[in-house]
Each structure stands twice: as C-alpha cells, then as structure tokens.
Amino acid sequence: MTAETALRLYRTMARIRQFEIGASRLMAAGKLPGTLHVSIGQEAVAAGVCDVLREDDHITTTHRGHGHCLAKGGEPTSMLAELLGRATGYCGGRSGSMHIADPAAGILGANAIVGAGIPIALGGAFAAARKGRGGVAVAFFGEGAVAQGVFHESLNLAALWRLPLVLVCENNLYAELTPVSVHLAAKRVADHAAPYGVPGVRVDGNDVLAVRSAADEAVGRARDGGGPTLLECMTYRWHGHFEGDPQQYREDAEVAEWKAADPLKRLADALPDAASDLAAIDAEAKREIADAVVAAEAEPLAAPGSVTAHVYSAHVYSGGAAR
C-alpha cells in the first residue's frame, strides 16, 4: 500500500465523517425533513471498497448510504441539497436521505427497503457481463438484509451465471434495534456463500487497508469472469439506528469499545510520519462540508408543483397513438 493510496483512503473517510456530522447537526436543528441514518464509525467500508472501483462500475446502497455515495463520486452539495429538500438536489429535493441516486457516477440508488438494492445491483452486474467491458456492480447492505429472500435469490443467480457482482455486508451487529444473535441463525454472514459455491470472506470492517485488500481481490475476480464474492465487513455505527434513537438496546461500554477502534484513528496510527498531512486533510474536509452546507441551504426549496415531475412518462398513449 503506497502512502498516496493511504492518504487517499483517509481523505475519503474524513469527508464521509464530516458529511455525517454536518447532516446530524442539521437534523438536530430541525432543518431536515423526514428521518436520518448516519454511518459514523463505518467509514472504512465505503472508502475501502469504492477505492478499487472504476468510474463505470455501479453500486447500490441502503438507508445508511451517504458514505457509499460520497466514496463513489457523489457531490456533497447536491447530496445536502437533496437532504434539505432543495430543488437542486440530486433528485430535485424529492427523495430525501434514503433515495439518493447519481447514475452518472455509477450510483444506482440508495434504498429504504431492506435488501432492495441487492437485485438492482444484480441487474447492473448482468448488464456489465453483457457489455463485456469488465464492469463490476457492488451491493452494499446490512446483516439484517441477509434474512431476506432476495439476498439468497440474487446470490444464487449471480453464482449460476458467474456475474461480476460483489455483495458487501456491513455487519454492524444490529438490524435496526435487534442484535444479530436474535435474527440470524448463522454466526457468520460470510458462511452463506459456501452453499452457492462462491467465496465468502470476513474482514475487519474498521481497518480500511484490510477492506481495500479484500475488495481488490473480490473486484478483480469479478472483472476476470470469476463470478461473485460475498464480503462481510465487521463494523459498528456510533450513533443509533436513526438520529434521536434512545439506544436502550445496547450498553455504553460496547459503544465505547467500538469508538476506540475508530477507523480514521486506526489508519492515522499506521501512518505516524504523516501527522501533518492528515491534519491538513481533516481541516480540508471540515471546510468543504461546511461550505457545502451553506451552499445547499441557500438553494431554493423544491416547488410543490414539481411533486409529479418524473413520475409519469412524457408520452400518453390513447387509441394506439402517442400524444
């Protein structure tokens, strides 16, 4: 791992961390409609996986997807404008936090339905295979989605057709408010890969270098026609399932233990000679997101009359004729 790569990974994680802090503050101030799920503590997964993807590769993500979108090339001002219901947001201010999409950057969309991004990524992998240009699709999802039938259906089909799909499970130990021991019979998500004859890899999801290495192997295998891989990243969200969650389902000591494994700090500790560079990156990320918040708040709110935009086709068919 070169110093350049390590600093790039740190920069991505720092941007995600500052974006999530900024979004959390906006929610606390009553400026965001709807609800908000932040990924503070999980930054290494998004940064490590997306660092090995090409611009023409595709991802799908979840209700906790800001980090993945940023790591894949999402623009923070447009993302914040979307969260704030502004007309200049990625989806015109109509999707909010849980449905951000940017097809031009390879972001096929976040999804509020548990596991619903997996078959969309499967379709992206199918399209990539048909194009024959070495493209790859990645589905990010939580361990709660593993109990959904669509996870198994998609993994089976990807294995059967040897599609270039990488399934990335962010195992943060809780599906909403429910611990993994209650809702999954298998102790390891990665073990679900074996019945389908594909590799299942578990990795320390707070070690961005380990995540990147595992993702590099999985993505390389997919590009070379080797089929899918199931990658389980063990990580932890510092905040509750949603902003305002009282978090009565977990102990303070558990949260403190995982905070001590902060992915940014762990990478910083591995780069003792780069302290000044990392401090500069932190300052740059804070400025960028602070500026993005100001810019997004200055944008106009989505007009009520735009609520039906992009819902219906531009062509209305009547009696066989388009009009």
The residues assigned a catalytic role are: 237, 241, 249
Is the separation of the CB atoms in 52 and 77 below 8 Å? Answer: no
Give the whole-angstrom CA distance, residue 215 versus residue 220.
8
Residue 222 burial (10 A CB sphere; 0-12, 13-18, 19+)? buried
Is the separation of the CB atoms in 101 and 107 below 8 Å? Answer: yes
CA distances from 302 to 78, 212, 309 (A): 13, 38, 11
Give backbone dihedrals phi and psi of 159, rounded to 5 degrees, phi first.
-70, -40
DSSP reduced 3-state for 255:
helix
DSSP reduced 3-state for 53:
coil
Give backbone dihedrals phi and psi of 27, rounded to 5 degrees, phi first.
-65, -45
CB atoms within 10 A of CB 291: 12
Is the separation of the CB atoms in 145 and 151 below 8 Å? Answer: yes
Is the separation of the CB atoms in 81 and 89 below 8 Å? Answer: yes
Tokens representing 103?
A: 């097809």
Q: Which helix (H) or strand (E) holds 202?
A: strand 200-204
Is the separation of the CB atoms in 183 and 147 below 8 Å? Answer: yes
